[in-house]
A and B are shown apart, each in its own frame.
Chain A
């Protein structure tokens, strides 16, 4: 009798522990899917959910705060994503928060990111529909990069022209600066240069903004940029671009001052031709520009070879060849 009692006790312990483990596991899993505890619903409308599934995580500022509960197709361009958010988060999410769809890691599952808005809006209420933002897909990003590239190429070509004419010697410089047509040309060039520089700046700002977005949203490219070597490369490319741009800007400034002097008729020509320091400075500036342009070119080349973007550029090349053939 005592034997069976002891057996039953041990059996009881076994069963209880086993059941507890099962329940704990179920609880832990359920907890992560917000099946227990207080929650409130939110929703957002997207054009494309990029493979989002029921049960995918919802992140607010990088913290898992809930899950996707339902994905509803409203019409061919509108998909409503219903989410369940932890109740305690209702004190932090404001009405101007923006929902985007991203992915968790390079090959990870999709998730909904809720990004806090900048303003001082009211807190969300259960059932609210958040604004959504379909972020730039890699295709868009690459086309922006292409525009930047074209602009940079244009800029470089013009700069080269200027530099060439300048490096032809001190003699030409006098003629160049005396000649009004040439001066006009120069002016025009500088305007162009300014314009190019401006455009380069905006492009860079856009690129920067994009990079920031990428960083923040942990998308495929984001992870690439944030984690991997290619990301580092990309970063250095960007910073190089920035440097080049700064250099260009500086040059433009310098040229601007020069032009002012010419305009001001303060004997700028004499000043220029006599003041060797100034000439030397200009020369070195031009050299700098050349170097900067070269570097920029290099960077663009590197970007072309970067594995992320290589495919696109190859495609572009092919297309160009095709077009060339067509023209022929």
Chain B
């Protein structure tokens, strides 16, 4: 019996530890976010670095986002076709694909892709900078590393992700239109006409606002994990890895909240 109790105790301890770590992490991340806003609003501003980061996160992710979006559009259309044909509702394809891509799939897939590419990149980069004392070196050189590294990156992801989402949406819709064009004799004009007929501001606006938050989450988590990376090369790997995992998880939480909130505001 004692052994059972011990097992239960140790399990309980593990759970408690997990909960405690989770709470601590949440607190630290919130603190980090607070520091971001404080530093972001205070001069000097690192515009040049911001532009550089925007380029690296925006332009450099474009191909990846484009390819993913295109494939998602293709697959979504191909997979839905048989069912819609069965119901004799294949002419509803643009409405269905358009709304699902613009409202949910586009932002979420793009954000997840970016979490994989950007959050891990930031985590690894800042982690290695921390480990090799580059962050210390920056501070000693009179440049606030938080401003120079963290603020610029978070701002860059926050600004670039909505744009990437738009590109992803357009390319995904193009992919879907291509399938409909080849398999179903629907002209591109008719396809996009139907799509925009189906869409309303209630679809576009919450999705765009949501994308900003997605970008913020990706930048924030990546920077947080990298900036407070543990010493040693293993720390860099952990930083990159946990950045992706935490960012992806948080993206879904944010998505849930966003859908919840936009539901209230738009009453759709």
* Chain A residues proximal to chain B, CB less than 8 Å: 4, 7-8, 10-11, 14-15, 17-19, 21-22, 25-26, 28-30, 32-33, 55
Residue B256 interfacial (CB < 8 Å): no
Flag if A19 contacts B55 (CB, 8 Å): no
Given contacts A14-B59, A32-B196, 19 further A-B contacts (CB under 8 A): A4-B52, A8-B51, A10-B59, A11-B51, A11-B59, A14-B163, A15-B54, A17-B167, A18-B162, A18-B163, A18-B166, A18-B167, A21-B170, A22-B162, A25-B166, A26-B204, A29-B199, A29-B200, A32-B197
**List of B residues within 8 angstroms of A4 by Cβ:** 48, 51-52
CB nearest to B51 among chain A residues: A8
Among residues of A, the one whose C-beta sits closest to the C-beta of B167 is: A18
Would B166 and A22 count as touching, CB distance under 8 A?
Answer: yes
B200 adjacent to A55 (CB under 8 Å): yes
Tell me the number of A-to-B contacts counted with CB atoms below 8 Å.
57
Q: Could you jot down 17 A-B contacts, CB within 8 Å? A: A10-B59, A11-B51, A11-B58, A14-B55, A14-B163, A18-B166, A18-B167, A21-B166, A22-B163, A22-B166, A25-B196, A25-B204, A26-B204, A29-B200, A29-B201, A30-B201, A33-B201
Q: Which of A14, A22, A55 contacts B208 (CB 8 A)?
A: A22
> In the complex the two chains form, is A26's CB within 8 Å of B201's CB?
yes
Contact yes or no, A21 B167, CB < 8 A = yes
A-facing mask of B183-223, CB < 8 A → 1, else 0? 00000000000001101110110001000000000000000
* Nearest A residue (CB) for B164: A18
Question: Does chain A have a CB within 8 A of B129?
Answer: no
- Given the complex of chains A and B, what is the CA–CA distance between A200 and B240 in angstroms? 82
User: In the complex, what distance in Å separates the CA atom of A21 from the CA atom of B170?
Assistant: 8
Q: How far is the CA of A21 from the CA of B54 in the complex (A)?
A: 18
| A19 adjacent to B163 (CB under 8 Å) | yes
Instruction: Say how far B158's CB is from chain A's closest CB, in angstroms.
Output: 13
CA distance A33 to B202 in the complex (A): 12
- B139 smallest CB distance to A (angstroms): 24
Of all A-B residue pairs in the complex, the 3 with the closest CB atoms, nearest first, are: A18-B163, A11-B55, A28-B196
Cα distance, A114 to B48, chains bound together (Å): 58
Which B residue's beta carbon lies closest to that of A26? B204
How big is chain B's contact interface, by range? 20 to 34
Chain B residue nearest to A23 in the complex (CB): B166
Q: How far is the CB of A10 from chain B (nearest CB, A)?
A: 5
- Among A17, A19, A22, A55, chain B packs the most CB atoms within 10 A around the CB of A22
B170–A8 CB distance below 8 A = no
Instruction: Please indicate the chain A residues that have their CB under 8 angstroms from the CB of B200 in the complex.
Output: 29, 33, 55
**What is the distance, in angstroms, from B257's C-beta to the closest C-beta of chain A?**
23
B62 near A: Cβ within 8 Å?
yes
Q: When the two chains form their complex, are residues B204 and A29 in contact, meaning their CB atoms are under 8 A apart?
A: yes
Residues in A with CB closer than 8 Å to B62 are 14
Q: Which of chain A's residues have a CB closer than 8 A to the CB of B196?
A: 25, 28-29, 32
CB closest chain-B residue, reference A228 = B88
Give the chain B neighbours of A21 by CB distance below 8 A: 166-167, 170
Residues of A within 8 A of B54 (CB): 11, 15
Q: Which single residue of chain A is at the shortest CB-CB distance from B57?
A: A11
Residues in chain A near residue B55, CB distance under 8 A: 7-8, 10-11, 14
Residues of B within 8 A of A7 (CB): 51-52, 55, 59
Q: How far is the CB of B162 from chain A (nearest CB, A)?
A: 8
> Nearest Cβ in chain B — how far from A215, in angstroms?
19
| Docked pose: A26 CA to B162 CA in angstroms | 14
Residues of A within 8 A of B170 (CB): 21
State the CA gap A17–B164 with chains docked (Å). Answer: 11
Query: A15 and B163: CB pair below 8 A?
Result: yes
Kindly provide the distance from the CB of A46 to the nearest chain B CB, expressed in whole angstroms: 22
CA of A15 to CA of B167, assembled, Å: 10
The residues of A that contact B203 with a CB separation of less than 8 Å are: 29
Task: Give chain B residues whose Cβ lies under 8 Å from the Cβ of A10.
Answer: 55, 59
* Nearest chain A CB to B238 CB, angstrom units: 31
| B27-67 Cβ-contact flags toward A at 8 Å (1 or 0) | 00000000000000000000010011011001100100000
Q: In the assembled complex, which residues on chain A have CB atoms less than 8 Å from the CB atom of B208?
A: 22
Residue of B nearest to A17 (CB): B167
Q: Which residues of A contact B204 (CB under 8 A)?
A: 25-26, 29
> Shortest beta-carbon distance, A56 to chain B, in Å?
11
With a CB–CB cut-off of 8 A, which chain B residues contact A15? Answer: 54, 58, 163
In Å, the complex CA distance between A149 and B167 comes to: 60
CA distance A19 to B58 in the complex (A): 13
Per-residue A-contact encoding for B229-256, CB less than 8 Å = 1, 0 else: 0000000000000000000000000000
